[in-house]
């Protein structure tokens, strides 16, 4: 029912997605800003939140709400292996989904941490791929969350000599890089 707030409920239903309506994604962007500002205030953290909409990388993706948090010494928001940052993003996503009534693709970043980490992972993927090509031996990377393994897979998806796969069980799932089979 329109005009009424969505009730929080747990279900196994597939979440609904935005239907390219710009006003919905704009509302989600504004709600993400308000939600993060409120959460940080309740945590007594002095920081500035800037939200914006990022266009999708390809036709299969959806626009993403990017929330960038800046301030002095916000390492507490990142945490060990970005666990705190991932939790903050998850909590914000749940609140946002409840408020907007639909699933919202959201990424929360603190002082450019995710950008720097992505750059490091892409460099690591290329360096390890070169090692695999030189030695002919597969390389297994350290356990990492799904979003970081995805960066490894995407970086090497068009590599002419190596391929990747994830192996193991969460939370110790690892990206593996190995030579493509010869045809």
| pLDDT tens digits along 145-181 | 888 999 999 999 999 999 999 999 988 999 999 999 9
Q: Which CATH class is domain 115-179?
A: alpha beta
Number of Cβ within 10 Å of residue 59's Cβ equals 5
**pLDDT at 13 (0 to 100):** 42
User: Does the pLDDT at position 60 exceed 80?
Assistant: no
Q: Which of 44-48, 57-61, 120-124, 179-183 has the lowest mean pLDDT?
A: 57-61
| Per-residue model confidence (pLDDT) at position 74 | 94
Q: How far apart are CA 73 and CA 55, in angstroms?
A: 30
27, 30, 36, 171 from 15: Cα distances, Å: 18, 21, 22, 24
Alpha-carbon span 92 to 69, nearest angstrom: 13
Q: How many CB atoms lie within 10 A of CB 125?
A: 22
Tell me what pLDDT residue 47 has: 96
Per-residue pLDDT, 104 = 82
Distance CA 29, CA 3 (A): 19
Confidence band of 9 (pLDDT split at 50, 70, 90): very low
Whole-number Å distance between alpha carbons of 73 and 84: 14
Alpha-carbon dihedral 169, 171, 177, 180, rounded to 10 degrees = 30
Taking residue 182's Cβ as centre, other Cβ atoms within 10 Å add up to 4
Domain boundaries, the chain: 22-111, 115-179
Between 182 and 54, name the one with better pLDDT. Answer: 54
Quick check: 143 pLDDT over 50? yes
CB 107 within 8 A of CB 89: yes
Fold for the domain defined by 22-111: GMP Synthetase; Chain A, domain 3 (3.30.300)
Q: What is the pLDDT of residues 86-117, one digit of tens each?
A: 999 999 999 999 988 888 899 999 999 999 99
Are the C-beta atoms of residues 73 and 44 closer than 8 Å to each other? Answer: no
Rg for the chain (alpha carbons), in Å? 19
């Amino acid at each position: 029912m329109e005009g009424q707030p969505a009730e929080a409920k747990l279900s196994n239903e597939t979440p609904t997605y935005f239907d390219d309506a710009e006003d919905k994604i704009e509302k989600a962007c504004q709600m993400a800003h308000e939600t993060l500002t409120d959460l940080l205030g309740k945590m007594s953290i002095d920081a500035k939140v800037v939200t914006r909409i990022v266009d999708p990388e390809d036709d299969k993706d959806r626009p993403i709400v990017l929330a960038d948090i800046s301030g002095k010494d916000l390492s507490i928001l990142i945490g060990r292996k970005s666990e705190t940052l991932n939790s903050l993003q998850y909590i914000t996503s749940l609140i946002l989904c409840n408020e907007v009534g639909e699933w919202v693709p959201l990424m929360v970043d603190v002082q450019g941490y995710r950008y720097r980490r992505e750059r490091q992972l892409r460099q690591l993927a290329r360096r390890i791929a070169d090692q695999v090509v030189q030695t002919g031996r597969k390389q297994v990377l350290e356990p990492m969350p799904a979003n970081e393994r995805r960066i490894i897979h995407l970086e090497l998806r068009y590599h002419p000599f190596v391929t990747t796969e994830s192996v193991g069980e969460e939370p110790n799932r690892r990206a593996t890089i190995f030579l493509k089979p010869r045809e």
